[in-house]
Each structure stands twice: as structure tokens, then as C-alpha cells.
Amino acid sequence: MSATTTVDPWESDHKQARAAKRASDSVDPMVDEDLLKELVVGLVDEPESVRITVKENDQGKLLVIHCAVDDRGKVIGKSGCNIQAICTLFRSMGNFDGGRRLLVALENLALKEEADVRR
């Protein structure tokens, strides 16, 4: 008797579907900024002052949060818990999406305020 090998047509379809899903799982670069802005807007009193800027280099992407001076404490949170949670979320998103580095930082407004006082 000869052994016949049967090919399950569903198996190849499932492999193709999984490959297509993996390709579509990569995060659109604008999604990062939009998600971060939505998270920060929910924390602050002056949502219209929230801006996100992006600095990219060969190591990854740095998302910088710009907000009103009075809202910085709310973004940071008690003992830094808010900003730490945001950084953790975006670091894990970077690991999920192909291992790219995705870092979040709050703009250092102290230097900016100091420069304004000197004028």
C-alpha cells in the first residue's frame, strides 16, 4: 500500500491569514502620537495646550509631551506614577511592534521658563 499525503486546504489559508494579520499589526506612526495625546488630554486641565512632538533617529522614536506649566504635575502624577505608566505602555508597544524603541518624555519647561525670565 502506498501512503497518500493529504493536504488540508484550510491550513494554507490559515497560514496566509496569520501572515497578513502580522503584517497589519504594525502600528501606524501617527497612532503613537494620537494615542499619547489622548492619554495626556485626559489628565490635564488645559487640553488645548497639549502638543506632541516627535524626534526620530536610528535608535528609535522619542515622543515629547508639551503642556501648560500648571498641568505638568498632573502629567507626572503622584510619585511619577502617571508618566511612568505612560512610558511603560509605549515601551511595550515598541517591543510589540518589531522591537523599535519608543520613548516618551515630558518637555523640560524649567529651561524654557528660565530663558523667558532673562528676556
Backbone angles phi, psi at 91, to 5 degrees: -65, -40
CATH code that applies to domain 27-118: 3.30.300.20
Backbone angles phi, psi at 63, to 5 degrees: -100, 120
Domain boundaries, the chain: 27-118
Backbone angles phi, psi at 23, to 5 degrees: -70, -35
Q: For 13-46, how does the pLDDT look when each residue is reduced to its tens digit (9 = 90+)?
A: 666 666 655 555 554 556 788 899 999 999 999 9
Q: What is the pLDDT of residue 110?
A: 46
Number of Cβ atoms within 10 Å of the Cβ of 8: 8
Residues of the chain with pLDDT under 50: 27, 110-111, 113-114
